[in-house]
Amino acid sequence: MSNGQILQVLFLALVVAVASADFNTDIDISWGAGRGKFLNGNLLQLSLDRGSGSGFRSRAEYLYGRVDMDIKLVLGNSAGTVTTYYLSSQGPTHDEIDFEFLGNVTGEPYILHTNVFSQGKGNREQQFYLWFDPRADFHTYSILWNPQQIIFYVDGTPIREFRNIESSAGVPYPKSQPMRLYSSLWDAEDWATRGGLVKTDWSQAPFVASYRNFRADACVWSSGRSACSASKGTWWAQSLDAGGAQKLRWVRKNYMIYNYCTDTKRFGQGFPPECSQEMAP
């Protein structure tokens, strides 16, 4: 290996992507024919009408890290709409970490839907109400993903933890495929609100979701490798402390409305092995 190649490897090993201050440097509008718009550098809006929804994605791929985004959801009657915010790899056996916000009629709460896919297997849904109105102002939604666990946060409060028990229980864990950040606003009236009973009211269109302050303290995937082999963010070994675990229990007790790990109709023959960890205190 030449000296130039050695320096390149060392550079890749030390580069860590850190907080972004401008959507234009880190995000691409990926679809929507102009319905996704950058406003004032650090504000982005996605819109949905009868013709189409819209979406964006990060320019970089990551293998482990923490991503944060401030989001203000669709105002008024948002029934039938879904706003997504997630990490995903590509291919049939993809990994994915999902926030999905299921719209509702005016005055009814949004449902926050979460899921984790590992090597193509998902069906790990947990759903929550929120303790605030996510349409009234921006709130911060975060995904922490390190070798030990995945933690979903809302305004710094943990709402879900998915631990890595692959070595002990054989449950695949997202650990080898880089993922991009994606977000979209689209019409899912066939299932999103009360199982599709409440349809989208197109007289309310265009529906608009707003985003600001994208931050990625994460390991950038470059030249077939992760940039975290030598330098890691504070999130690398982060886990829930006693205070975080207490907050997680508070959310489960007061705001969780569905947990696949308690759905006996789906899993009458026994719950998936990770449920012992998902339900741990």
Separation between Cα atoms, residue 193 and residue 38, nearest integer Å: 29
Our answer to whether residue 100 is catalytic in this structure is: yes
Q: Which two tokens stand for residue 114?
A: 């979460």
Compute the distance between CA of residue 212 and CA of residue 153 in angstroms, rounded to an integer: 17
Both tokens of 43, joined, read 């504000």
Q: Distances in Å between the alpha carbon of 35 and those of 134, 162, 188?
A: 21, 34, 17
Tokens of 74: 């669709």
- Cα gap 157→128, rounded to integer Å: 13
Asked about 189 being catalytic, the answer comes back as no
Evaluate whether 204 touches 76 at the Cβ level (below 8 Å).
Answer: yes
| Catalytic residue of the set 61, 96, 161, 274 | 96
Q: Which of 100, 161, 274, 278 is the catalytic position?
A: 100
**Residues classed as catalytic:** 96, 100
